[in-house]
Amino acid sequence: MKLNVIASFFALFSILTIVVSCNKEGGNSTKISSIGGTRSHNQGNNCMNCHKSGGEGDGWFNVAGTVYDSLKTSTYPNGTVRLYTGPGGTGTLKYTIYVDAKGNFYTTEAIDFGSGLYPSVQGSTATHYMAATIGTGQCNSCHGVSTDKLWTN
């Protein structure tokens, strides 16, 4: 009887240990994408579903997303994302984020969206400009969901 009680305490303890380690949250370490980088994953998903305060992702991203080629079936590597105060690349260039070898871009640096910033995506032969401003850097929350995937060429 006593042994059974002790055994069930041990069983409960190990279950609790497993639950606690599965709930481990990713910390907010600095992560910024760079040309040629290969550490990212989950192309097309909204990175900030996980890479946020309390989320499981490693690093809390303030801007992140995925760029595709013109057919929108393959990702487009090593492009450049920029955030301007004016439309069509006008105003002040506030932030530049490089797309990695997997077509993903991400940064944990603080981003001040102010009253809204205009994004652009540059490939080797073209630059595409978003006509409206954004107040969130969760590019894949709209692109590939409620509007076209981000793309360039």
Could you list the residues that contact ligand HEC (CB under 6 A)?
26, 31, 39-43, 45, 47, 49-51, 56-58, 63-66, 81, 104, 106, 119-121, 128-132, 134, 136-139, 141-143, 147-148, 150
In whole angstroms, the minimum distance from the beta carbon of 33 to ligand HEC comes to 7
Q: CB 6 → ligand HEC: shortest distance, Å?
A: 36
3 versus 27: smaller Cβ distance to ligand HEC: 27
Query: Tokens 């630059």 appear where?
Result: 127
**Shorter beta-carbon distance to ligand HEC: residue 8 or 34:** 34
Q: Least separation, in Å, of the C-beta of 29 and ligand HEC?
A: 8
Separation CA 35–CA 101 (nearest Å): 6
Shortest Å, Cβ 48 to ligand HEC:
8
Residue placing its CB nearer to ligand HEC in the complex, 14 or 41? 41
Do 37 and 97 touch, CB atoms closer than 8 A? no
Show Cβ contacts of residue 107 under 8 Å, excluding neighbours closer than 6 positions. Answer: 31, 32, 33, 61, 62, 63, 64, 95, 97, 137
Cβ burial of 45 (10 Å; 0-12, 13-18, 19+) is middle
Q: Which is nearer to ligand HEC, 12 or 56 (CB)?
A: 56
CA nearest to 106, candidates 16, 53, 34: 34
Q: How far is the CB of 15 from ligand HEC (least distance, A)?
A: 22
Return the number of the residue (40 or 76) whose C-beta is nearest ligand HEC. Answer: 40
Distance, CA of 40 to CA of 51 (rounded, Å): 12
CA end-to-end distance (rounded Å), the chain:
72
